[in-house]
Structures are given as structure tokens and as C-alpha cells.
A and B are shown apart, each in its own frame.
Chain A
Amino acid sequence: MEREVQRVRQAFLSGRSRPLRFRLQQLEALRRMVQEREKDILAAIAADLCKSELNAYSQEVITVLGEIDFMLENLPEWVTAKPVKKNLLTMMDEAYIQPQPLGVVLIIGAWNYPFVLIIQPLIGAIAAGNAVIIKPSELSENTAKIVAKLLPQYLDQDLYVVINGGVEETTELLKQRFDHIFYTGNTAVGKIVMEAAAKHLTPVTLELGGKSPCYIDKDCDLDIVCRRITWGKYMNCGQTCIAPDYILCEASLQSQIVWKIKETVKEFYGENIKESPDYERIINLRHFKRILSLLEGQKIAFGGETDEATRYIAPTVLTDVDPKTKVMQEEIFGPVLPIVPVKNVDEAIDFINEREKPLALYVFSHNHKVPVGWELITENIVSILFLISVPVY
């Protein structure tokens, strides 16, 4: 492992990855790879998550292509030195900020959107002039294999190296010294990554997760709200870091919400959900069993059917969920949607603020006084994404 990293570091020290032209060339090669080998890439993602190739395209490949194009267009401007305002003492001087590469970057990917979550950071790392070690998630085996196979065929083989492996290999890798570590995954491992990085004073970017709350106000169009929630929740079989994890709403709304989500599920996936090409499966048996255990003791309003052989779990909604139960203790990351009744928006805010800051937070309301002003509700709610449905102004 140490030798591999050393090799990549030597490649970086050669200075090859720094010139703009080289970076653009590599990005163009990456785009060619995605376009020429689209079929292989889609097949791998499809195999890992039982996803249709069409969905693999729209959920992953399209984002990658968009990112590459955006980078190609803007990079020439981004790499230039930015002059800054000077004061009297520096009047005669040139003062500017010059972006420079960090060196060797480690990117650790996740399994739920296995292609985009490794390639999108890679695009940025290459654009910034770094050498990269790529460690795809071993849980999404097929994508890990295809990435290891394709990247060396299109990109510089010494600067951008794929290392595959499990916990043992990753632990070894984390002992090495990098100039930046980019990790996507769960909070527990996030802490391990940051602690390992601290030994070398390596800066990190940690894209983690949490339980993303979804508040439904009584003043909203429930039809539309439920369609949007159904879409966000059951996409990729709930295995999305920013999926609405659980619902908070007044108790009286529950039955309507359940009914409308049920209808929407039928509309999206048909009567026989198992046959729908648009409904995915759980990544592996361990997660399948984990999600199943969350259903114990819960009131299943609809759904709940499972099939271990295919790792199928039906779109499920739970009502009157007790916040102290298991399903409300960990990030669900599956097609199970608990509804926790609250009295009003203030109670919802208290509920959210008592917990860890989530990655995403959703509010559905017509009343734009409800969620928007930060002085009203969003103090201490910190999240990356904050979606609100409000009337068009």
C-alpha cells in the first residue's frame, strides 16, 4: 500500500498533473470514457443495485457528464490568479490569490450511487491539478470492478490509481499520508477517517449522513406534497443520503398522507411493484436484515412485504412512530418511511433541534411564514439542502 501511494506521489512530484492543458486533456478523456463505455458502466450500476439502465443513466451518468462539461468550460478561468484590493502599504505591489494543487488526494466512495460518488470528486481533484488514489466501495462490487478496469484505459496510469479492497485495505490506506481525503459514507467511519487524517494534519471533506426530517404543514397541497415525498423517498429504494428519512406532521394528517403516498406508489411502480423496472433492491443481505429489524413493533400502514432472495423490501409507511424506537435512532437508508406525529411546527422544530444536524431538511407548506425566516425556525437547524414548497411569488 505504501509503495502504491509513493508511486502516485512521485508522479505528482514530476509536475505532470499541473499544467492546465494536461488537466483539460484528462477530463476530456474521462468524458470519452463515460460516453464510449456507457453500456458497461450502466450495466455495472444496474447489477449492484438492481436498477434499470435508464435510471442509472439519469441518476448518475448524466451528473458526471454535466460536471465534466462545467469543469471544461470554467477551469481556464478558475486556475488564474485572482488580484485583490490593496492598501496603502502594498500600493506598489501585486497582490493576488493563486490556486494550486494540494498533491495526492484520496477519494473514498460510497455504494449507493457508486459511480457518481467516486467520479464527481475525482473530476474536481483532477481539475485542481492533483494526483488521486481512488477507493471505490467494495459493497458495490461491479462498479468497483468496472472503475478499476476503465480508468487506467483512459487516464494517466501513474497519477490516477484505483485501489480496491475492504475494511482491512482501507485501514492500511488511511495510515498513509495524503494531502486531502475526500470521504463519502456514514458518520461512524467519518470519525475514523478524520482521526487517521489528524495524525498527518491532512484536511478532510466528509460527506456523511443523518436522519433528514420532512415536516408537512397542515396548510399545504397534500396531493403534490405526497408525490414529491414519494419520489424522493423511494428513489434507489431509499438508499440516498439526502432522502427524506422521516415525516413530522400533525396526527390528523397521517391517514391522508398514508393514502396519498400509497396511491402515488401505485402510480409510480404499478400494482406489482416487484416487476417495476424503476424500483431498486437493497444493496446486500446485511442491510436488508438491518432495515427489516427496524420494522419490529411498528404500525405498518402499508407495505412491509419483503423477499430475502431478491433483497426486496416494498415501499413502506409506518404511523404513530415512537421517537424512542430503533427506526428513529439510526439513518434508515431504506424504503421505510416513519411518520412521527407532532402538535405543530414549533414542536417539530424542537424535535429536530434535539437531534444531530441532518444532511437535508424538508418543509412543505403554503404558508411561507412557516419555514422561511431563520429567526422563526431555522436557528440551529443546519443542513445542506433545505427544500420548501411555497406559493409562487
Chain B
Amino acid sequence: MKDEPGSTNLFTKLDSAFIRKEPFGLVLIIAPWNYPVNLTLVPLVGALAAGNCVVLKPSEISQGTEKVLAEVLPQYLDQSCFAVVLGGSQETGQLLEHKFDYIFFTGSPRVGKIVMTAAAKHLTPVTLELGGKNPCYVDDNCDPQTVANRVAWFRYFNAGQTCVAPDYVLCSPEMQERLLPALQSTITRFYGDDPQSSPNLGRIINQKQFQRLRALLGCGHVAIGGQSDESDRYIAPTVLVDVQETEPVMQEEIFGPILPIVNVRSVDEAIEFINRREKPLALYAFSNSSQVVNQMLEQTSSGSFAGNDGFLYVSLLSVPLGGVGHSGMGRYHGKFTFDTFSHHRTCLLAPSGLEKLKEIRYPPYTDWNQQLLRWGMGSNSCTLL
């Protein structure tokens, strides 16, 4: 919260220049259903820390959490500064007609556009934490079992309903041959022979999402898994192969425990494939060669990047989480949340005396003025005085 001093030039030497972190005012936070507590409360923490008042709109899809938050939060937080609003897309639409000083939205790119358009009417700044299809490139030069462990863990975590989960794999047919048995072995190890009875595998949030995901099981061929149970909203940890780029499973963010593998012949082809599509929120590259990992990093763009692992960086408060392009704008976590919800106000405190030193900037101007101005403005360091 402390003011950040700014370095001065010759004309502002006697002044105090600094950046103040101030609240924006009234903040609207619209939260999603996949990590309903975390993705609602972490932004809230930042908004409050920055001194704002908050209107919170938890997701109506994660009904249990919505109910608890609406009940519990007013018991702990100042009710005049802060409110929970409940409702579906219609109510959210109405909410968006009001003027806020900042809007923080986590959700899909489609709704992200709606939020930003509504914000534009009031010139309200926004942070949009969106999503996309996060590519996962697996090089020929790597240990299939290690890769399988890591990819499977991050893919099937929360039944795949994670914005930064690896969405699809890009690898050569040869690598695919080695990866499939490794993935099967990992899945059995994590969830047992009957994953549906494992206490460590999540379920799909609701019928609508379940139906959508079940339809995706028809794409390509099922190499692993493929079972589903409507009464349980269960979808088995699945791997699809022989998937075409045009099929639905490669057109939308999967957001479920289904991992398609698309074949490419080289890292260059993988990069080309990735760059033809929207910038993703996360991007993964697995390779024993740091050169390959670096090439992937340099020649693509994504919100975040991980080499040889999954989204572990989400646990690090020293790095921000945010998207680029269709995967979002703005970022947060740790201090970045505080900065997101603060207006950084430039301030200059000048002495009211010592006017003689400021005289030089007043007209009428002469050549002498110009000389001094050139010299003064150019001096960013102290050394000239």
C-alpha cells in the first residue's frame, strides 16, 4: 500500500513524485463454478485489500457454494461495503447495466465479450480470466511414463474442469504408441481398475455439461476409458486418438476428463498448429531437450507456459495468472491481485515557494530558455546537479 517513489528529472528535483495505490471504488466480481470457493474468494480478498467495496456474483451453477457464500459472508464482512447478488444469466445481465469502477470476470470467452461490451458503456476497466484449448506438446525425446503421470494428473484433476488443464496432446505417432500404455498405467495407478469407485476422481458439475462431454466421446476413437454414467454424472478418464482438427472435441474447450491426441510430425508442425489457433491460457511442452522447450516458449504465445510439468505455478503467489488474446486480459494472484484492484495514481507534491527555479518554464520564451529546457528535460539522473 505504501506510495512508490518515482525518479525525478531536473524540473521536478525539488518536488516529491510518487505513485499512490488507491481503491477504484465499487468492484463487481463474477465468479465461475469449477473452483467456486477459490475463484470467488481470491479475487474478493484482493479487492478488499485494495480498499474497494464489492458486489459479488457467485456462479448459480455451483449451487451449494452459492448458498453457503450468500449465508456466511454477510456474517463476517461489513454489510454496508459488500453484497452478494444471486441469479442466473438474466440477473447478471441486469447487474452489468449498472456502473461499476472495476469488473473482474472469470468464465468463458463468449461471456467475456458480453462483459467487456457492457463495461465499455461506462468505460469500466475489466480483468477477464477466460479460457481456451491449452495445447500440450510431447516431444519424442522424453520419458513416456513421467510425462503420462504429469499430464494425467493435471488433466483429470477436478474431472478436467480446470481452465489451465492440458486440453489436448500434440505428439508424433511413434510417441503416441509409447504414451498410451503409460497413460493407462497411470490412470490405473491413480484411480484403480474401476475409476468410478475411486474417491479421488471428481464428477461433472451438471447434466448440461455431462451431455456435452458425453457427445465428445464420439470423436476419433476411444483408446482409454470412454465409459460414462448419467445418474452419477461420471465420465471415465478418457484418451481419444485419430482425432481430426475439425471434430467438436478440437473445436471447443473440453473442460472434462477427456484427452484427445493429435499427431504432428515435428515440434515445428506443433508450433504451426498452435499458432493457427487462438492464444491459450496455458501451454505445455514436454521434452528432455531444453532447446525444444525454449523453442516452444519463444515461438508461441499464451497466458502462461510450463515446460515438463503442469500448472504448478498456480500455487506460486509470486507469479500472476492471466490470459492473452482470447484467453483473457489482466492477471492476478498475490500482489498482482492487489495491483489489479488498485488505481495507481501519479502524484507530484511541489513546494509553493522557490518559484525562481520554476520560472524557466514560463513564457515569453527565448533561445536561452530552449537550451536550458533541452538540458533539464534530458537529465533523468541526479548527477547533473
Contacts and interface: CB of A to CB of B under 8 A. Distances in A.
Interface of A: 13, 15, 52, 54-55, 57-58, 62-63, 65-66, 69-70, 84-87, 89-90, 93, 95-98, 100, 102-103, 179, 187, 190-191, 194-195, 197-199, 201, 203, 206, 208, 220-221, 224-225, 227-228, 231, 267-270, 276-279, 364-366, 372, 374, 378, 380, 382-392
Contact of B353 (A95, A208, A221): A221
A86 B365 contact: no
Contacts of A85: 316, 318
A236 B329 CA distance: 36
B346 A366 contact: no
B378 A65 contact: yes
Contacts of A269: 363-364
B22 A382 contact: yes
Contact of B370 (A58, A100, A382, A389): A58
A217 to B, nearest CB: 10
B24 interface: yes
Contact of B346 (A191, A227, A386): A386
Contacts of A90: 312-313, 315-316
The 10 closest A-B pairs by CB, nearest first: A389-B352, A194-B120, A198-B116, A84-B318, A278-B363, A392-B351, A203-B329, A195-B120, A198-B117, A85-B318
Interface string B19-37: 0101011000000000000
B121 interface: yes
Interface stretch (B147-155, B233-241, B258-266, B320-328): B320-328
B67 interface: no
Given A66-B377, A179-B325, A100 B352 contact: no
Contact of B364 (A100, A103, A228, A270): A270
B343 interface: yes
Contacts of B120: 191, 194-195, 197-198
Interface string B312-355: 11011111100011101110000000000001011111111111
A392 B370 contact: no
B194 to A, nearest CB: 30
Given A90-B315, A388-B348, 16 more contacts: A58-B369, A66-B380, A96-B319, A98-B297, A98-B305, A231-B363, A267-B362, A268-B362, A268-B364, A278-B364, A372-B349, A384-B346, A386-B347, A386-B348, A390-B352, A392-B353
A374 B377 CA distance: 30
B201 interface: no
Please indicate which of the listed interface residues A57, A100, A227 has the most CB atoms of chain B within 10 Å of its own CB.
Answer: A100
A93 B319 CA distance: 13
